[in-house]
Structures are given as C-alpha cells and as structure tokens.
Amino acid sequence: MLLLLLGIVLLHIAALVLLFVSTIVSAWTTGSTSSSDLWNNCSTTNGGYHCDLANTGEWIQVVQALMILSIIFSFISFFLFFCQLFTLPKGGRFFLTGVFQILASLFVMSGAVIYTVMSPKWVPDSEAFGWAYIMAWVAFPLALISGLIYVILRKRE
C-alpha cells in the first residue's frame, strides 16, 4: 500500500511539474527567427529583437487563465490528498481529490486545444510547436490518470 501511495504521489508531482514548466517557459512555438509562448511573441527582424505582449487577444488570455487554473487545481488536489489521507475514514474514497485533479486535466486540455486552433493567427506560419507545448499535452493524460486513480482509490488500514 505504501508503494502504491508513493507511486500516486510521484505521478501527481510529475503532472504538476509539467504543468508549471509548460506554463512559464517560452517555447510553445519556435522558429528560426521567432518564438512565442503564453506571455510573449518575440521575433528578430532586421537585426532587432521585438516582443509583443500576449494581451493583444482574448483567446491567449483564456489559455493563460486555463493553464494557471490547471496548476492551482492540481496543487489543491495534492493538498487535499494529504488532508484526506489522514482524516478520511477507513474504506473511504478520495473523490474530492480526484475531482480536482480531473478538472486540472480538463483545464490544461482546453488551454492546449485553444492554443492549437488560435495560434496560427498570432504566430508566423514558419514556426513549429515547441517542447513546452508538448509538455502541456503530456501533462494532460498524466493528470487525468492520476485523477482517475484518486477516484478509484480506497483508504485502507
């Protein structure tokens, strides 16, 4: 049982770290002369470096909010897990923890989908999706799986 709890905690921490790093790193789309993320769209033109802030469109602010909400909900879920671990009666399920983690996974999925659909209007066509964007997509199934494990998990003696 202790190894199972350790595995679940490590899975949750991995998802939380991926969410946090993918939100703050500036590599959602990258190209030879430009890069963009959730906060800036930077490019090099005629030897000069120019950055546009991400407050120019409502859709990018929605993606920012969804990614931040996913981090907050995942952190709340992690906190609730430890609270429930010590207060939940024997045989009880970690429903509240699981619900918050599943919501975190749905937020990150929604943010990544919106960014996928809307980013061609904000970044040049020569750019490709970067590693931070991929990390956000990897965080989605990890958070979803950990949330489902929490819902199924029963507290033992």
Contact 43, 132 (CB under 8 A): no
Residues whose CB falls within 8 Å of the CB of residue 146, separated by 6 or more in sequence, listed in order? 8, 11, 12, 15, 101
Q: Does 19 score more than 70 pLDDT?
A: yes
Place of tokens 């599943």: 102
Which is more confident, 69 or 33?
A: 69
Tens-digit pLDDT profile for residues 139-154 = 999 999 999 999 998 7
pTM confidence score: 0.87
Pairing of strands 40-45, 34-36: antiparallel
What per-residue confidence (pLDDT) applies to 36? 76
Residue 4 has pLDDT above 70, yes or no: yes
CATH 1.20.140.150 fits 1-29+56-155, yes or no: yes
DSSP letter, residue 127: -
CA distance 18 to 136: 7
Residue with tokens 């980013």: 119
